[in-house]
Amino acid sequence: MQRAALIGAASGWGAGFRHTQEGPQVLRQLGLAERLAAAGIPARWSAMVEAERDHRGVMYLTPEEKFGIVARHNAGLADAVAGAMAARELPVVLGGDHAIAIGTWGGVARGMKAPFGLIWLDAHLDAHTAATSPSMNAHGMSAAVLLGHGLPEFRAVGGGVLRPENLCYIGIRSYEVAEWALLRRLGVRMIHMDEVHERGLAAVMAEALAIATRGTEGFGLTIDLDGFDPEDVPGVGLPVPDGLRAAETCAVLRPLARHRDLRAIEIVEYNPALDHAQKTARLVQDLLTSLLVPAAATRSASSAA
């Protein structure tokens, strides 16, 4: 069984607040690797990629300075992801804000050297460029970069590694017109939350998997925790009502466990400062267990129950 390489991407520089940079270390301290091992999943922490810490405080940094920190962090993250793939391990990247997607999937592209697809669970589109972003926060730009748009320092790490026809969003319900227009022009499939309610999560996940695997050599999942309903994830900085429900999502992801074409997993935007009774941290573990426990083991557990 392929071992899961847990890679902490400890950065909050892409967001308007920095607390997500503590997320990976908290997950490590809570014994995530040990809990996965107890569930039958070989896992180890292979890297903790930390962003630079500016002692002047974030309020004194210009957007350009923050972009530089984000770009350098993503470059290191891409190295760690590509290294895990070279070691024949499955990269499981734990953030950190969603700007880390630039490094995660830039590293996957380097490790695969072949087209891959991506299923993107999120409340947001993250498809702004510096020219359209109202906040100038890089965590709202990562998808655009992967599709080949945005700042050159970001594109140097992960620019254009993803084809629009192999990207599918699930759970969208909060975005600006400019980023929606870019994705629509590129032909990206966006499944809004009202469509999830109408068709059911299992049906839209099946469509997303078909999109991500059509003409590719593999696929990945990026899971932004704010894609879930705030009732299930108190530990996020940008909660949006009427999101995906935790139990249903874990159940729908379970058939993907150890899918032969799964190349990497990314879970982002865990903010431990806002978590209650480790509820969001437990969801991270549940999501990974759903995706990584071998299907045979899952069937045995169900039969025993």
Is residue 98 annotated as a catalytic residue, yes or no?
Answer: yes
Which of 89, 97, 179, 224 is an active site residue? 224
Is residue 122 annotated as a catalytic residue, yes or no?
Answer: yes
The amino acid at residue 95 is: G
Which of 89, 97, 128, 139 is an active site residue? 139
What backbone torsions phi and psi does residue 32 show, to the nearest 5 degrees? -60, -45
Is residue 79 annotated as a catalytic residue, yes or no?
Answer: no
**Is residue 176 packed enough to be buried (19+ CB in 10 Å), middle (13-18) or exposed (0-12)?**
middle
Which of 97, 153, 229, 269 is an active site residue? 269
Which of 98, 128, 179, 229 is an active site residue? 98
Which of 89, 97, 122, 179 is an active site residue? 122
Please name which of 19, 2, 42, 6 lies closest in space to residue 284, comparing C-alpha atoms.
6
Is residue 139 annotated as a catalytic residue, yes or no?
Answer: yes
Q: What is the length of the chain?
A: 305
Token pair for residue 101?
């997607």
Is residue 55 annotated as a catalytic residue, yes or no?
Answer: no
Is residue 128 annotated as a catalytic residue, yes or no?
Answer: no
Q: How many other C-beta atoms lie within 10 A of the C-beta of residue 102?
A: 35
Which of 73, 89, 97, 124 is an active site residue? 124
Question: CA-to-CA distance for 254 and 237, rounded, in angstroms?
Answer: 27
Is residue 259 annotated as a catalytic residue, yes or no?
Answer: no
Which of 97, 126, 153, 266 is an active site residue? 126
Question: CA-to-CA distance for 15 and 11, rounded, in angstroms?
Answer: 9
Sign for the CA dihedral angle at 8, 13, 14, 20 comes to: positive
The DSSP line for 201-238 is: HHHHHHHHHHHHHTT-S-EEEEEEGGGB-TTT--S-SS
Which of 89, 97, 179, 226 is an active site residue? 226
Is residue 269 annotated as a catalytic residue, yes or no?
Answer: yes
Question: CA-to-CA distance for 295 and 256, rounded, in angstroms?
Answer: 8
The DSSP line for 79-110 is: HHHHHHHHTT-EEEEEESSGGGHHHHHHHHHH
Residues labelled as active-site residues: 98, 122, 124, 126, 139, 224, 226, 269
